[in-house]
Chains A and B, each alone.
Chain A
């Protein structure tokens, strides 16, 4: 089946720095990708919808200036956490839908664990 990759799988950064997370669809083109955040023992919360060639759509309460999303190509979306703070420490997961596939085919990346010290 289709695969979505994320890089890095984990990252530790210092407070105040920025960190970029990549999400790639490996064998299909995704005009739309989704970014989720998950705190320990909690659900996945949708942060934003990443649209190729246009601005991302952010969910209510998500700071667009803090979580920069760039969907530069049909296979790559990036999430940049700017001026990271310890409260940004979380598990970030991306997902994408293969438009060629059936309605059930929604693929998730393996996730990126971010720790801000």
Chain B
């Protein structure tokens, strides 16, 4: 069964507007971490934001915020004030367990975001 689901293959947003990228997950482990990465055409994976399953508040990192709804098992990424440089692939990922060893990530299918001038 798919553990991480991104239902939006592609999204368009006007420059300076906000955009929400959807991500739902499935796990029976009470301890997990959720990540969002940006992958430009160069291929590098750029870390954007992290939310731990026990974190009480939604994570924020500059223009990025994570709308964490634990009961719905969703972890949507909100990008405010979109910039042309935000055009890229965006991946949601989950790591089950919060131990200090291991740490494999399971990725969603990705969403290709295009920012229009």
Contact = CB atoms under 8 A, between A and B. Distances in A.
Interface stretch (B11-19, B69-77, B93-101): B93-101
Nearest to A34: B104
A106 B95 contact: yes
B33 A104 contact: yes
A11 interface: no
Nearest to B100: A99
Nearest to B99: A103
A113 interface: yes
Contacts of A41: 112
Interface of A: 31-32, 34, 36, 38, 41-46, 49, 91, 93, 95, 97, 99, 103-104, 106, 108, 110-111, 113
Given A34-B105, A95-B45, A103-B50, 8 more contacts: A34-B103, A38-B43, A42-B109, A43-B107, A44-B91, A93-B43, A97-B102, A104-B50
B35 interface: yes
A108 B45 CA distance: 6
Contacts of A104: 33, 35, 47, 50, 52
Contacts of B43: 38, 91, 93, 110-111, 113
Contacts of A38: 43
Contact of B35 (A46, A49, A106, A110): A106
B101 A103 contact: no
Interface in B19-57: 33, 35, 37, 42-45, 47, 50, 52
Contacts of B44: 108, 110-111
B75 to A, nearest CB: 13
Nearest to A46: B104
A101 B21 CA distance: 28
